[in-house]
Structure formats: structure tokens, C-alpha cells
């Protein structure tokens, strides 16, 4: 007989079989979105040919900024060349801890600063937000002038990572789409012009002007940084950049012919002399936007709690996959589920429960991330401390039962998120031709599907970053386990490939620095 909490959590259940089937469905979904959607699978105007051959070659110091959903970072990125490149591999330690992405790195961040983006800046107009960003950039540039003796009467190229959907026609320009993540800005703005204008307001006559050299999404930046830092060979490939922090997203190089013609950039940077027929372009998938929803519904993965979370959000229906996998929302999902359990299974009424528990985002993702291990007395103490100042109209006491229930809710949320992200990774790698998945009838859908036949197994490495996948329960370890399980289900014991997660932290800002340098290398626009 299943326990009451097991029955309650059944809508969130996912196993390797379901994740395997979902990976096939998402593969088809992603191909359709690439070919048909103008909101998802957005190309960055830089080809794979300029990223891989130039990986680790560029040297120099470049100004870079990273505008995220929570923080703004700015600083200089020093590119040290290929001699210090690291061999990429499995980033999971014996206890599920991530290996440091800075050990032996061929790049480093200097004069880096970080600022939280205040809620009032998110809610005000664009001019206020970008004036503040400009002031922060000027602060770092001033230090750069003093420490590196930069010419103050010149022009400083800058790489920009922007963690929101943009449409790009060239590498240095971008039009902002709807931002989400709590930001009120929804109009189509010229990102580069806004940044330059904000900086000009703040810089004063003693600082150099800035020029936007490259703009890229945070997932694209992660891949760019990952490739630069990696030593690839015939058995290892830096295949994909994954973000799983406040939001969830991924990037991968895809053939230009797979993309809708109306979203193709006017100019794509390639290395001079390289062939240009059907080149691969770095594509920001924006996989969490609503195009992914049908696949999730098909396998019954969207629960009533997800539906309510979506309905109560800033833009209902906008990012269903993100609501189920990313840090901005998992704590809120846990709150809604705990409230439901306390009311329907344990018989509490609203006036008996702590007021904060009935407030949107009253249960934080950070708290839920570390609500472990399953020791009832320890969990109870954590819960009492978290809600120590909360009172209800009637006397309310947390119990070991309610604490244990919340642990099981958090774990179920995490396992489902890990399974969905793993399925999406496999589906996306199949779109790139890196994994030859079968079609529903058992035939291969792309590439040459076979076992390795004695040849060395190819490792497809996914560079990941983000606090959610690193810290939320056992997200990272479980995601790798699902990846291994899906590949075994697809190929059996003699799979020709393995998909490995490897850390690429700080890829947002370092990727902007790398691409700022790469964009100035010998290249041409096609």
C-alpha cells in the first residue's frame, strides 16, 4: 500500500522510461520550433567555425558585462591562450560535488564587481534601469583605466551577456523581447543603444567611450566560455551550454537550414576562408517558453499546482518549462503543494496557518534547496526557525510529520525537474545531429545510429551553470543519472556516446569577454 504522501505526489512522478519518451517528443518539438517559431530558437550571429577553431587562441583583456535576472556583473576578462586549456570531463565528484571550473583555466576575471538588481529598477522604465547599469559600467571602467592604464580618449570594446530573449541581425546589435523574471520592460528596445546611452550619462569626460562589440544570451555565453576553456579531441566535444539557475535555458550550434528564414541574422561571423554552406550557428533555444508545453502535457507532467503557479505569474503561459525546473519558481511550487497537503490531508484551515506560508513566494527556493537530509527532528527545527516569527489566528505548531512531508515535496519537485532537463538535453543534442535517436517506429531519425563497434565512446559534454542545478537537493546528480538512463534505454549497454555534465560557472561574463575578443579576430560576415 502506498503512503498518503506517495499518493499525493503521484502527479509529479517521472522515471527513466517517461524521461526517455519525453526526450523523443522534445526532439520533435525542438525541430518544429527551430523551423517555425519566431520566439524560440533564436540565432546568435556567430558560427561554430569561429568558435571551435579559435577555441583558446585569443589573448587579451576585454571589458564584459552580464545582465542577469537577479544580478548585474561587470569586469574585465583576461584571455590567456590555449596553453592552459583544461581537458573537459565529468564535473561530478564522488559525493555529487562539482569540480572547480577555474582550476587550470585559460581565462580569468579581474576587477569584477557584482550588484543586485533592486526590485524598483525592475519595475521602473527602461531609462532608469539602463542609467543605473551605465553607472556600474563606468565604475569598473574607471578602475580599469587606473589599473591597466587604458587610454581615456579612445573607444573600449565591450561584450554583453543578456539573460533574456533578444532578436539579433548582427553580433553587435539586439532587440529586446519580453523580459519576464519580474522585469516590467516589455517594449522592443535596442539593447546596445540603451547601454551606450546609460553609460554616456554616467561616464564623464575622463573616461573612454564604449563600443558594443558582441551581444549574446547567457546560455550562448556559457557555451562560448566552455569551448574556449576546453581541450577537445576525437572522443570529447563541448556540445552545449546549459543554464539552470533563476531561469532555465540552453544553447547549441544548429544548421542554418533548420531555422525559420525570417529569424536568420543578416550577417553571421565566420573565420575568413572557411566554407559557408549551411554553417552551424550558435542558437539560443529559449526552450522554457510556451512551445515546450505540449510535450510536457502529453506525458502528464503538468500538475494542478503547476497550473496554479502559472496562472498567478506575471505572464501566464509564458515559461511553463521554467516554472517546473528553475530556481525562481521551485520554492513557490513547494509552497503551493504544502498548503494543499496541510489543508486537504491534515485538515488545517487558512486561519490556522502561518500568514507567510499563504503569501506568494513566502517559502523560498533557497530554503527548500537545503531542506535535507531526511532527519525528522532536524527538519522540524529548520522549519520552526524559518517561520519563527510567523503567527496565525489560531495556535499552529509544525510537527515532524509536516516537516517530513515538505522534504518529500521538495525531493519530488527536484527529481521531476532533473528528469525534464535531462530529456530536453537529449532532445536538443539530437537536433544538432550529435545523438542519432530512433523515430517512434524504431528507425533512426538523424545521423548514423549504431553501437560503437569497438571504437572509443564519444563524450558529449554539456557545460552547466546556475545555483539551482548545483544546490537544489540532488538536482545535479539526479540529472546525470537520468542522462545515463536515457542513453542506456536508447542504445543498450554498448552506446556509442555518453552525455556528461561539466561545470562552466561564471560563463555569462567570461563568455562575453571571449566573444568580445573572438569578434575582433580575422573573420568575415556572410
- Band of pLDDT at residue 199, cut at 50, 70 and 90: very high
Residue 139 lies in a domain: yes
Mean pLDDT to the nearest integer, 378-394: 80
Peptide bond into 78 cis (omega under 30): no
Q: How far apart are CA 281 and CA 45, in angstroms?
A: 7
Element (H, E) at 166: strand 166-167
Residue 449 lies in a domain: no
In which residue are the cell numbers 513547494 written? 334
Q: For the beta carbon of residue 290, count every other beta carbon within 10 angstroms.
A: 17
Q: For the beta carbon of residue 201, count every other beta carbon within 10 angstroms.
A: 14
Residue 146 lies in a domain: yes
Give percent of the chain with pLDDT exceeding 90: 57
Q: For the beta carbon of residue 522, count every other beta carbon within 10 angstroms.
A: 9
Tell me 205's DSSP state.
T
Q: How far apart are CA 510 and CA 491, in angstroms?
A: 36
Q: How far apart are CA 367 and CA 207, in angstroms?
A: 43
Residue 168 lies in a domain: yes
Q: For the beta carbon of residue 505, count every other beta carbon within 10 angstroms.
A: 19
Residue-level pLDDT at 57: 62
Residue 86 lies in a domain: yes
Q: For the beta carbon of residue 338, count every other beta carbon within 10 angstroms.
A: 21
Instruction: Determine which of 77-91, 151-165, 170-184, 333-347 has the lowest per-residue pLDDT on average.
Output: 77-91
Mean pLDDT to the nearest integer, 312-317: 85
Q: How far apart are CA 112 and CA 523, in angstroms?
A: 29
The CATH number linked to 86 is: 3.30.420.40
Reference 89, options 459, 455, 507, 457; nearest CA is: 459
Q: How far apart are CA 296 and CA 309, in angstroms?
A: 15
Q: How far apart are CA 389 and CA 190, in angstroms?
A: 46
Residue 54 lies in a domain: yes
Tell me 99's DSSP state.
P
Residue 370 lies in a domain: no
Domain interval for residue 173: 45-231+507-525
pLDDT per position as a tens digit, 435-478: 998 765 555 555 444 455 567 889 999 999 999 999 999 999 99
Query: What predicted TM-score, i.e. pTM, was given to this entire model?
Result: 0.86
The answer to whether 246 touches 502, Cβ cutoff 8 Å, is: no
Residue 172 lies in a domain: yes
Residue-level pLDDT at 60: 87
Q: For the beta carbon of residue 252, count every other beta carbon within 10 angstroms.
A: 27
How many domains would you assign to the chain?
A: 1
- Helix then strand then coil, in percent of the chain rounded to 5, is 45, 20, 35
Amino acid at each position: 500500500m502506498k503512503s498518503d504522501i506517495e499518493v499525493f505526489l503521484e502527479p509529479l512522478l517521472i522515471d527513466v522510461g517517461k524521461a526517455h519518451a519525453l526526450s523523443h517528443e522534445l526532439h520533435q518539438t525542438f525541430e518544429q520550433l527551430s523551423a517555425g517559431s519566431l520566439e524560440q530558437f533564436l540565432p546568435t550571429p556567430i558560427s561554430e567555425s569561429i568558435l571551435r577553431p579559435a577555441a583558446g587562441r585569443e589573448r587579451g583583456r576585454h571589458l564584459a558585462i552580464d545582465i542577469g535576472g537577479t544580478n548585474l556583473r561587470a569586469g574585465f576578462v583576461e584571455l590567456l591562450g590555449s596553453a592552459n586549456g583544461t581537458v573537459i570531463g565529468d564535473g561530478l565528484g564522488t559525493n555529487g560535488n562539482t569540480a572547480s571550473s577555474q582550476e587550470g583555466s585559460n581565462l580569468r576575471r579581474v576587477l569584477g564587481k557584482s550588484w543586485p538588481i533592486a526590485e524598483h529598477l525592475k519595475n521602473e522604465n527602461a531609462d532608469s534601469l539602463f542609467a543605473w547599469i551605465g553607472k556600474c559600467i563606468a565604475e569598473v571602467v574607471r578602475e580599469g583605466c587606473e589599473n591597466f592604464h587604458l587610454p581615456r580618449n579612445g573607444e573600449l570594446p565591450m561584450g554583453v551577456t543578456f539573460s533574456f530573449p533578444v532578436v539579433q541581425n548582427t553580433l553587435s546589435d539586439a532587440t529586446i523581447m519580453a523580459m519576464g523574471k519580474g522585469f516590467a520592460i516589455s517594449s522592443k528596445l535596442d539593447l546596445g543603444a540603451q547601454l551606450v546611452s546609460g553609460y554616456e550619462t554616467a561616464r564623464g569626460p575622463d573616461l573612454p567611450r564604449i563600443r558594443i562589440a558582441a551581444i549574446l544570451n547567457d546560455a550562448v555565453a556559457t557555451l562560448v566560455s566552455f569551448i574556449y576553456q576546453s581541450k577537445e579531441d576525437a572522443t570529447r566535444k563541448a556540445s552545449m551550454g546549459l543554464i539552470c539557475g533563476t531561469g532555465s535555458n540552453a544553447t547549441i550550434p544548429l544548421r542554418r537550414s533548420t531555422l525559420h528564414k525570417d529569424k536568420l541574422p543578416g550577417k553571421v561571423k565566420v573565420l575568413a576562408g572557411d566554407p559557408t554552406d549551411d554553417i552551424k550557428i550558435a542558437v539560443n533555444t529559449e526552450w522554457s517558453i510556451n512551445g515546450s508545453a505540449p510535450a510536457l502535457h502529453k506525458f502528464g507532467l503538468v500538475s494542478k499546482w503547476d497550473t496554479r503557479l502559472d496562472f498567478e505569474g506575471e505572464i501566464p503561459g509564458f515559461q511553463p518549462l521554467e516554472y517546473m525546473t528553475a530556481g525562481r519558481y521551485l520554492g513557490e511550487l513547494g509552497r503551493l503543494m504544502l498548503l494543499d497537503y496541510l489543508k486537504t490531508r491534515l485538515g488545517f484551515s487558512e486561519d490556522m496557518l502561518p500568514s507567510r506560508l499563504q503569501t506568494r513566494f513566502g517559502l523560498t527556493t533557497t530554503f527548500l534547496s537545503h531542506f535535507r537530509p531526511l532527519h525528522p527532528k532536524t527538519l522540524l527545527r529548520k522549519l520552526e526557525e524559518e517561520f519563527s516569527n510567523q503567527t496565525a489566528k489560531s495556535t499552529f505548531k509544525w510537527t515532524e510529520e509536516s516537516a517530513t512531508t515538505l522534504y518529500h515535496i521538495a525531493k519530488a519537485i527536484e527529481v521531476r525537474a532533473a528528469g525534464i532537463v535531462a530529456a530536453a538535453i537529449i532532445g536538443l543534442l539530437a537536433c544538432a545531429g550529435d545523438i542519432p535517436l530512433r523515430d517512434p517506429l524504431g528507425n533512426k531519425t538523424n545521423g548514423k545510429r549504431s553501437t560503437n563497434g569497438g571504437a572509443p565512446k564519444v563524450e558529449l559534454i554539456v557545460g552547466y551553470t546556475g545555483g539551482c542545478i548545483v544546490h537544489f537537493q540532488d538536482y545535479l546528480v539526479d540529472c546525470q543519472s537520468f542522462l545515463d538512463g536515457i542513453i542506456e534505454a536508447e542504445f543498450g549497454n554498448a552506446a556509442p556516446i555518453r552525455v556528461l555534465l561539466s561545470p562552466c560557472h561564471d560563463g555569462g561574463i567570461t563568455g562575453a569577454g571571449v566573444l568580445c575578443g573572438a569578434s575582433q579576430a580575422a573573420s568575415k560576415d556572410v
